[in-house]
């Protein structure tokens, strides 16, 4: 008889339910019943769960003592063991936003307008795209941010979890086991719907994953950050408290929320709003997506007003340069009176008189090729003529 069999024979004589479960687990593993073994392990963990006794604190003691200083991950946004939600519409690059934030935290460098007091260990669990695409994304963002390997050292770990069936409390437990020696100070999940189980609109289902986030934060001391998508419609119409698809339990659970909203006019810009539980409110601001030869990332855009796109936002008119080919086709190489030109131009573009006036002001001031207008004056004569001048790079 081997050691395991002897142990099993001994615990058969007891009435302890945990010991009986050990026997069941052994039999399940012996018969290669992995699903059954997982269920039994969960039951054993339940038997071994220790509930720490509740401890009340006298308010009078707090009045004569100084509270400890918060250990801030992002200055005046979140502390250690807080929960931060990043919410935005589909294709608004919220996953890029989270990755850039995590790189900044790992490097200990300022992120947009927020100070990162010092570098932290970050575990990034991405569940949505293939590893080689995420690899490329990481390199491009780091290149645009001028981040080198020495800036990160071993402080940023990435788990490419697509297709690994990492969901629910069991999935989080797997992640926790895999990074046990890393001791993360920030754990990021992208996106929430991939790690969560059940129905997104059901409060009870959502509470399960949020409660497990709480347990994860307590066990590790790490701040939890996750990406969540907006509901259908116009997010810019909603208060930040009502942002995020599914149950509104999420809006009452996090310690901080960063919401990205499409800009009213600039398609490459987004408006950033922040909702904070523990720190003073902050003003909205704009960021712009910068796609450069060396890479891409978000940049702070102080020169752009933080005007959010709403259901009432009118589409931005096409750039004036859009109409340049039509004007060139009308004029050709000839000089033409301004009046007949405007009539022909209006017929082909359907622009208003004011918009045509704007086009001519732009074309004669900075268009390329720029237009020339000359006055012809004489007794009883006052005509204006228009002609295409040389391209600016030929002058």
Mean pLDDT confidence for 11-25: 67
**Residues carrying CATH 1.10.10, the chain:** 320-394
Residue-wise pLDDT for 187-205, tens only, equals 999 999 999 998 988 989 9
* Mean pLDDT, rounded, of the chain: 88
- 83-100 pLDDT per residue, tens: 999 999 988 999 999 999
Q: Which class in CATH covers the domain with range 72-300? A: alpha beta
Please write the tens of the pLDDT for every residue from 204-255. Answer: 999 999 999 999 999 999 999 999 999 888 999 999 999 999 888 999 999 9
Mean pLDDT of all residues in 258-270: 94
* Lookup: tokens for 62: 């707090």
Domain span(s) for CATH 3.40.50.300 in the chain: 72-300
The reported pLDDT for the residue numbered 50 is 60
Determine the topology of domain 320-394 in CATH. Arc Repressor Mutant, subunit A (1.10.10)
Q: How much is the pLDDT for 75? A: 97
């Amino acid at each position: 008889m081997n050691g395991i069999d002897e142990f099993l024979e001994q615990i058969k004589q007891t009435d302890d339910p945990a010991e009986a479960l050990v026997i069941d687990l052994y039999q399940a593993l012996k018969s290669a019943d992995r699903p059954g073994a997982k269920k039994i392990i969960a039951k054993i963990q339940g038997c071994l769960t220790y509930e720490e006794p509740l401890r009340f604190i006298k308010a009078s003691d707090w009045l004569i003592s100084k509270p400890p200083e918060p250990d801030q991950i992002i200055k005046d946004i979140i502390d250690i063991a807080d929960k931060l939600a990043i919410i935005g519409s589909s294709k608004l690059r919220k996953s890029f936003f989270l990755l850039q934030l995590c790189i900044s935290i790992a490097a200990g460098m300022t992120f947009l307008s927020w100070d990162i007091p010092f570098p932290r260990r970050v575990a990034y669990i991405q569940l949505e795209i293939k590893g080689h695409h995420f690899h490329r994304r990481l390199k491009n963002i780091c290149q645009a941010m001028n981040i080198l390997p020495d800036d990160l050292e071993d402080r940023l770990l990435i788990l490419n979890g697509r297709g690994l069936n990492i969901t629910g409390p069991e999935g989080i437990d797997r992640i926790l086991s895999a990074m046990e020696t890393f001791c993360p100070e920030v754990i990021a999940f992208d996106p929430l719907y991939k790690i969560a189980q059940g129905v997104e609109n059901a409060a009870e289902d959502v509470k399960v994953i949020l409660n497990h986030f709480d347990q994860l934060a307590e066990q590790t001391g790490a701040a939890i950050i996750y990406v969540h998508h907006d509901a259908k419609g116009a997010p810019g119409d909603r208060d930040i408290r009502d942002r995020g698809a599914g149950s509104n339990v999420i809006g009452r659970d996090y310690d901080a929320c960063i919401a990205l909203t499409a800009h009213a006019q600039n398609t490459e810009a987004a408006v950033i709003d922040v909702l904070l539980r523990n720190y003073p409110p902050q003003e909205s601001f704009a960021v712009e997506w910068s796609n450069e030869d060396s890479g891409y990332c978000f940049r702070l855009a102080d020169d752009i007003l933080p005007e959010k796109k709403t259901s009432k936002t009118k589409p931005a008119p096409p750039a004036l340069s859009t109409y340049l080919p039509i004007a060139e086709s009308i004029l050709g190489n000839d000089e033409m009176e301004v009046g007949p030109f405007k009539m022909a131009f209006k017929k082909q573009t359907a622009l208003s008189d004011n918009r045509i006036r704007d086009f001519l002001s732009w074309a004669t001031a900075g268009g390329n090729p720029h237009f020339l207008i000359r006055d012809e004056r004489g007794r009883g004569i006052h005509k204006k003529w228009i002609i295409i001048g040389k391209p600016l790079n030929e002058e």
